[in-house]
Every structure is written in structure tokens, then in C-alpha cells.
Amino acid sequence: MTDELLTVVVRKREQHAAGVVALELVDPQGQPLPAFEAGAHIDLHLGDNLIRQYSLCNDPADNSAYRVGVLKDPNSRGGSIAVHERLLEGTELQISAPRNLFPLAATDGRSILVGGGIGVTPMIAMAYALHAAGKPFDLWYCGRSRSSCAFVDDLLNSVFADRVHLHFDDEHDGAGVDLDRVFDDADDSSHMYTCGPAGFMEWVMASATSKGFADERIHKEFFQVEVETGGSSFEVYAEASDITVTVGENQSIAQALTEAGLKVRVSCEQGTCGTCLCDVIEGIPDHRDVFLTDEEKEDNDQMLLCCSRAKSPRLVLDI
């Protein structure tokens, strides 16, 4: 991955459903943008040190533009509000090159894509890629109501429309999707991918596990989680920078290091994206993220600086 930023312009802005805008971003000179794979996201630099990540939801075979869908979150920490208020057609902004933390597995087995609400966005790119590769898949798009869900018409008119299944709770007496149907055609070669609200994802993943899916066949991308904050203060020694800080009771490691003059790259600030991942040289982290797997957390050799803390009085980090 490169840290070089790209300048793009908002070529098209569309209102999709209640509170969702779809943005089409292009190179100002009309040049192709860097290629990307299904599941990738970009960082939008929104000013005032505000950086937020959004999944690319267009066909990966077409890199003439990037398309993202952004829900205006009533509990926004600034990102989605900035997108909705500032990113009008013709606006220039900087973005990162695409990064992929949610790739499709290298398998010819069936892929089951389960998106909840705006979490459908990476699934759209995955569906394009799977269709182009001639691989079997089904895309399940779930939401509370048709009016609140974006990209419905796009999906129903897509080249893979016959693989799209829509479920809106208010059209089924408030009931959620029947997960027995979702996993009906699954076998030992099937992989499941899910993105959406945390509670929805946990429900889907628990069902996949009960159907016999091994952990390595369950793929997830959280876009918003409740982060446990605060705790006892502790010391952090940034070995590469030779800086020692005390992390306060209601302060993150990233904040403490930044205040000491060390530049720490952060994005989601919720432990979902991995931008602030750092190697641990000494000490025991208190992992509070959803980015690392349980096995990776047990190794205690990496941690996320935006939300995780320490179980030991002192951490030595490679930063």
C-alpha cells in the first residue's frame, strides 16, 4: 500500500433512499484511477484531520471512476455529515489508493454475500467480480424497509439480478430474513461474507457457525461498533521514536502519542479498519478492536492504537 494521496472530483452525486448519497469520484484529468479488487475501500480526506473509510461499490473491472455510498448517521462523529454537507458535484478532495481488508477468498465454491443496510456496498463489487469469473454466488440484501435501502434498483437491473435476494423487515411483519434459506445451498466449499450493523452481523455469523462454517470460511467487515473506552492509566514507550508517554484513563494510545508529537495514522477510530495497527515488542495489550482475529489477539504481538489499551503497566511499541 502507498501513502500517496489521489486528487479526485465528485462527478456525480445521487440521493439513494432515505439519508444515503451515492458519489461517483473521478480523476480531474479524466485518467484511469488505480485498479481495485472487490471488497476494497478508500479513505476520504474530509478536512480538519477528518478521515473516513468507505467501501467501493462499483464493478472492479471499471476503474474510470470510484463509487461509494454514504449513510448520514444520526450518531455521526463528523464523517458522514461532512460527506453529505460538503461533497457536492464538482468538489475536489483527496483520497487514499484502494486498500482491501475484505477480499474474496480464492475458491470456486459458492459465495454467500449477506449485506445489512449500507453494508451492502462491498457486496455489490463482490457480486460483479464473481459474476465476471463465472463463480456461483447469492447476494442477500436485508434492511428494515425498501425506502431506507440504497441501490435496490441498481441491483434489480444488474447483470447478476437473478442472484439478488431482497428482504425488507416491514414487508414480512417485522421479521428478519430466514437464515435457513440463506444457507440452504451451502456446503463445505462455501464461503460467507457479511457487512452491516454489528448486531445484524453477529446474528448472521452465529447462524453460519451453527451451519458448520469454519472460521476461515466466515468473512466479515464491521463499519461501526460500540467501542469500550477508558480504564487505568499505563505507560507506553515508542521504541523507534524514543518517546515515552502516559496514557490517561480516558485517552487512547494514539491520542497520547499524538500529543507527544508523534504522528499516528488513524482513520475509523473504532478498531475496525487496521490503519493504526502497530507491532508490540513488550507488554500485554488489552484488545478492544474487531479487526484482529481471536488467534491474532492471543499472540499479543500486534495491537490497534485507536481503541485498545494495556493489561500490563507498560507497553513497548515499534513506532
> Would you say the C-alpha torsion 299, 302, 304, 309 has a positive or negative sign?
positive
> What pLDDT, on the 0 to 100 scale, is given for residue 227?
67
CATH number of the CATH domain containing 154? 3.40.50.80
Other Cβ atoms less than 10 A from the Cβ of 162: the count is 8
For residue 224, pLDDT beyond 70? no
CATH number of the CATH domain containing 68? 2.40.30.10
For residue 290, pLDDT beyond 60? yes
Same domain as 119, residue 73: no
Q: Do the Cβ atoms of 177 and 142 come closer than 8 Å?
A: yes
For residue 126, pLDDT beyond 50? yes
Same domain as 206, residue 245: no
> What is the pLDDT confidence band of residue 3, given thresholds at 50, 70 and 90?
low
Question: Under the phi-then-psi rule, with left for phi > 0, alpha for psi from -120 to 50, and beta for the rest, what region is 215?
Answer: alpha
Mean pLDDT (whole number) for 52-58? 93
Q: Is residue 101 part of a domain?
A: no
Rounded Cα gap, residues 139 and 165, in angstroms: 6
Mean pLDDT rounded to a whole number for the chain:
92
Beta carbons within 8 Å of 24's beta carbon, 6+ residues apart: 10, 11, 12, 13, 65, 66, 67
Q: Is residue 106 part of a domain?
A: no
What percentage of the chain carries pLDDT values higher than 70? 97
Q: Is residue 261 part of a domain?
A: yes
Q: Is residue 119 part of a domain?
A: yes
Residue ending a domain, choose from 66, 96, 126: 96
Give pLDDT tens digits for 161-171.
999 999 999 99
> What is the pLDDT confidence band of residue 312, given thresholds at 50, 70 and 90?
very high
Mean pLDDT (whole number) for 21-39? 97
Domains identified in the chain, total number: 3
For residue 130, pLDDT beyond 90? yes
Return the C-alpha torsion angle 172, 174, 176, 177, nearest 10. Answer: 10
Highest mean pLDDT among 46-55, 223-232, 304-313: 304-313
Same domain as 117, residue 216: yes
> What pLDDT, on the 0 to 100 scale, is given for residue 117?
94
Same domain as 140, residue 61: no
Range of the domain at 184: 111-222
The three-state secondary structure class of 154 is helix
Same domain as 181, residue 261: no
> What pLDDT, on the 0 to 100 scale, is given for residue 101?
87
Same domain as 119, residue 79: no
Same domain as 264, residue 198: no
> What pLDDT, on the 0 to 100 scale, is given for residue 274?
81
> What pLDDT, on the 0 to 100 scale, is given for residue 1?
40
> What pLDDT, on the 0 to 100 scale, is given for residue 226?
63
CATH number of the CATH domain containing 265? 3.10.20.30
Residue ending a domain, choose from 38, 69, 96: 96
Q: Do the Cβ atoms of 236 and 257 come closer than 8 Å?
A: yes
Q: Is residue 302 part of a domain?
A: yes
Give 99's DSSP letter.
Answer: B
Same domain as 17, residue 52: yes
> What is the pLDDT confidence band of residue 295, given thresholds at 50, 70 and 90?
confident
